[in-house]
Amino acid sequence: MNGFDALTYMDATSLARLVRQKEVTPLELVDFFIDRIEKINPRLNAVVTPMFEEARRIASGPLPDGPFKGVPMLLKDLLASYKGARFTFGTKNLAQYIPDHDSELVRRYKEAGFIILGKTNVPELGLLPTTESALFGPCRNPWDLTRTTGGSSGGSAAAVAAGLIPVAHGNDGGGSIRIPASCCGVFGLKPSRGRNTLGPDFGDLMSGLVAEHVLTRSVRDSAAILDVTAGYMPGDPYCAPPPRQPYQEEVGRDPGHLRIAYLTSTMREGINLHPDCLAALEVGVKLLISLGHEVEEIKPNLPAELIARAFTTVWAAGCAATVKGISLITRKEPAPEQYEPLTWALYEMGLKVSGADYLMAVGILQRMTREMALLYAQYDVLLTPTLGEPPVKLGTFDSPPEDPLKGWTRSAQFVPFTPIFNATGQPAMSVPLYWNAEGLPIGLHFVARYGDEATLFKLAAQLERAQPWTNRRPPSAD
């Protein structure tokens, strides 16, 4: 396959074109990316469940004539089930669990022509912004093997960044697409609440915090894939308003003169932004101004501590519900030896949340959502650094039994912005526009009005043209 080396960093759109033009076969693509995974993955630990023989079998037969016919991809080992493939949620309790059906999202990927090569590494139950589970071990950042990939879609982001795959599935309950996109220097968009279905297994997760999509190298891939996955599934509790036109048609369109607000503060006492993140923000602001946008710093007066407590209440209750759901599958009562210390501590915290506490927390988040919506009467987009710090060292979020919530507490410094927009349900994206002096990527985080992914795709494509990132190669990918 040496003659195919140019395929390594092509995006999914380009690869699909090669298949349509019969310049490469689906089986050749599958074999090429399997070779990449076998060569590079031992350094990264991004792919934890290979599905290579299944992929070769599918690539050798008739495929749906979708827009991504024959293009390989990876699935995050959380939420999206694939019939007959191990599905662990990153916990040893489900290490041998095999689902008997595809999730609707996976069905839509298959219908679009994608071929799944395997499952990617996740933290236990997707709870932390790093990918270091006891079940699979740490996923390593291809820009620096001692650093986190972020989480919980860390395996997916690392695989895309290192050229193991052109696109990988992710999901986002507190930043889990955008955090690893920032850490690994790839593009990651969290769609609006209800844009992609969670069915048939879930109608709603944690009162709407969770959204599904992908991590990609190019903006156009993210847009085109959302076109083939978006839409209501019968029984869904809600759905996002339909787009005016396909998202892939927004890529390349002039975003016009946008009014963009930006934040230089986390709004939380004692939690400050790292100088490298502020430097990235400054570069982003200057770039936006050069592109003709109106950019203004703002200092919103949101009750940040109250919001953080409300989010933690919903998150802990969601952890408890997930642990109880797993016990229905395993037919074992939950016990502390079955889980990592942090997971068990959040589970116990969640058990103490009363119905009144939960509804009060949801009400606080909904009120904050309305206050945030008022901001968009004045501005089209909000800009922040994606993270409060560059990718931190592996082990930073370790939670020993004597201090089981240490990792959760530490994460407040790392992810000061992303969870807010899971609560509001707004579309948000991390765009890889800056690398620091150590060669580590730092994403910039853009948030639009609810239902307005179109503005984000237009802006992202403009930024991609003005300051391309796809020619950057992590040192651990060769």
Question: In the chain, what are the helix, strand and coil shares in percent, each to the nearest 5?
Answer: 40, 15, 45
The verdict on whether 14 is a catalytic residue reads no
| Paired tokens of 216 | 């990609």
Q: Active site includes 176? A: yes
Take residue 11 and report the two structure tokens written for it: 């995006």
Distances in Å between the Cα of 270 and the Cα atoms of 184, 265, 374, 413 are 27, 11, 27, 9
* Peptide bond connecting 430 to the previous residue in cis, omega within 30 degrees of 0: no
Long-range pairs for 95-99 at CB < 8 Å and ≥24 separation? 95/135, 97/329
Largest CA distance in the chain: 63
What DSSP assignment string belongs to 107-168?
Answer: HHHHHTT-EEEEEE---GGG-SSS-EETTTEE--BTTBTTB---SSSHHHHHHHHTTS-SEE
**Residues 103, 152, 156, 399: which is the catalytic one?**
152
Residues 334 and 328: beta-carbon distance below 8 Å? no
DSSP 245: S
Half-sphere exposure of 435 (CA within 13 A, CB side): 16
CA 372 to centroid of chain Cα atoms = 22
Q: Which of 81, 103, 153, 176 is catalytic?
A: 176
The answer to whether 412 and 200 have CB atoms below 8 angstroms apart is no
Alpha carbons 136 and 146: distance in angstroms, whole number = 16
CB atoms within 10 A of CB 270: 7
DSSP string, 342-393: HHHHHHHHHHT--HHHHHHHHHHHHHHHHHHHHHTTT-SEEEEESSSSSPPB
Q: Are residues 30 and 115 in contact, defined by beta-carbon separation less than 8 angstroms?
A: yes
Hey, what amino acid is at 45?
A: N
Question: At 55, which amino acid appears?
Answer: A
Active site residue 76: yes
| Residue 71 contacts residue 18 (beta carbons within 8 Å) | no
Characterize 100-115 residue by residue with b for buried, 16 or more Cβ atoms within 10 angstroms of its Cβ, and e for exposed: eebbbbbbbbbebbbb
Question: 76, 119, 190, 458: which one is catalytic?
Answer: 76
The candidate with the shortest Cα–Cα distance to 89, out of 311, 320, 322, is 322
Residue 141: both structure tokens together? 């950042």
| Calpha distance 290→217 (Å, rounded) | 24
Q: Which residues make Cβ contacts (< 8 Å) with residue 222, sequence separation at least 6? A: 187, 188, 189, 213, 214, 216, 457, 460
List the catalytic residues: 76, 152, 176
